[in-house]
Amino acid sequence: MDVSSSLIIFSFASLTLSSVGLASANAPAIFVFGDSLADVGNNNNLNVPLDKLANFPPNGIDFPLKTPTGRFSNGYNTIDYLAQQMGYKQSPPSFLSVENGANISQGVNFASGGSGILDTTGPAITFTAQISNFKSVIYDLTKQMGKEKAEEFISKSLFFISAGNNDMFAYYSTTGAQNITQNEQFVTSLVEKFSQHIKALYIYGARKFGTIGLSHIGCIPLMRSKNPIGKCNDNLNGLARNFNTAAQVRMNQLESMLKGMKYSYGNAYDLMSIAMATPFLLGYKDFQSACCGSGKFNGKDRMDYWMSQIYTYSFMHKKHLVTASYVNDSMSGLHERAKGAGVTILGEMGLDPGIDHMMVMKMINQAHARKGKIISFTSYCGGLPSPPAANNPLAYKFR
């Protein structure tokens, strides 16, 4: 995220502050909820898959001291710019990095990369769990300030939310978003769940909400890279637009129902549309590719990026490489470079899946031929069977 990106976020930050009636002088804290667009390091403390972590390069390469911090960005993220606009030197610390009894007087960030509005989305800290974590912060604030001052403090603070992107990706990966009626039902249910989270935070004292809407999720480099000619995914973009429309209507309804509630719904979709239409005016040369990575639009997953770095060092130091990765187009394309460096790359040989799957199907077919019924099957792969157990030509044990 560079200076040009910050102009877009600055516009949203200004809109948020003015819409909810905040200025840096009377917004004592920011409490942050949501996904990777807002996470500043919570996932560093979780046992989650590698794609839900950001505590390694190229994340942070443009951050001060070029340090990965757990932000899913090459530099500052949305919350950092919002905090700067509100007059803070830095954005609130991640909840899981805050020591018991530490100063939380400028807020806390509960966001977790990979999470969604639905608790079934992603292996991360769910939105419901984030709200539960906020309850523990209320307890700490009450101990520090007293009940009356803590309630006033919370009511004047900004509650910033960035959520919904991962729910859309999960839904699309399952359904393809081809059925209009099904899409409408999903968006409706998602907005209702979002509304429930807002009401829960309101019950715990929140009054001022800033929400960033969904943007062109069908145009991210990963989605473009999957299209033969690099086009955006219109189905995903359509879901984003529909969610924004429905969510803004619901937020307006909540504001009229809940006494003292104020909100701003940042129209990220329209802001990004302007940026995509006039990238050069914002200082961009390329608005389609990621800052760093590998493959088309730098859109390959981060394991591919890391493997490309490993290959480079292997060739540089003329060291042979053994990898558990399967041979793919990227690896095959390294053939001449590997030959030139005198390096052998040995990839996955097909044990699992491979030999075991073929032998399993042979056993299942034999069972079916004898009118048998498969009740269950478990395959253990990767161990070294004892000699008495490996009593077949392949020295491979089935159980």
**pLDDT tens column, 200-240:** 999 999 999 999 999 999 999 889 988 889 999 999 999 99
Cα–Cα distance between 298 and 290 in angstroms, integer? Answer: 5
For residue 289, tell me if it sits in a domain: no
**pTM for the full predicted model:** 0.76
Structural contact between residues 263 and 210, judged by C-beta atoms closer than 8 angstroms: yes
Cα–Cα distance between 128 and 197 in angstroms, integer? Answer: 7
Q: Are residues 330 and 358 in the same domain?
A: no
Q: Where are the beta strands (DSSP E) in the chain?
A: 30-34, 107-109, 158-162, 208-212, 262-266, 321-322, 345-346
Average pLDDT over residues 359-386: 78
Cα–Cα distance between 316 and 212 in angstroms, integer? Answer: 45
pLDDT of residue 8: 47
Q: Are residues 8 and 126 in the same domain?
A: yes
Q: Are residues 134 and 152 in the same domain?
A: yes
Q: Are residues 242 and 327 in the same domain?
A: no
Domain count for the chain, please give it.
3
Q: Are residues 340 and 205 in the same domain?
A: no
Q: Are residues 240 and 358 in the same domain?
A: no
Q: Are residues 218 and 234 in the same domain?
A: yes
Q: Are residues 213 and 316 in the same domain?
A: no
Q: Are residues 120 and 255 in the same domain?
A: yes
Please tell me what DSSP assigns to residue 352.
I
Which structure tokens are listed for 85? 């606009």
pLDDT, tens digit (0-9, with 9 covering 90-100), for 33-44: 999 999 999 999
For residue 294, tell me if it sits in a domain: no
Cα torsion for 307, 311, 312, 318, to the nearest 10°? 150
More confident residue, 140 or 309: 140
Q: Are residues 323 and 357 in the same domain?
A: no
The number of angstroms, rounded, from the C-alpha of 28 to the middle of its chain's C-alpha atoms is: 28
Q: Are residues 310 and 277 in the same domain?
A: no
**φ, ψ at 108 (rounded to 5°):** -145, 145
pLDDT of residue 3: 36
Average pLDDT over residues 380-387: 65
pLDDT of residue 1: 40
pLDDT, tens digit (0-9, with 9 covering 90-100), for 174-192: 999 999 999 999 999 999 9
Range of the domain at 380: 351-399
pLDDT, tens digit (0-9, with 9 covering 90-100), for 271-280: 888 888 888 8
Cis peptide before 58 (omega within 30 of 0): yes
3-state secondary structure of 94: strand
Q: Are residues 265 and 376 in the same domain?
A: no
For residue 316, tell me if it sits in a domain: yes
The per-residue pLDDT of the chain, averaged, comes to 84
For residue 63, tell me if it sits in a domain: yes
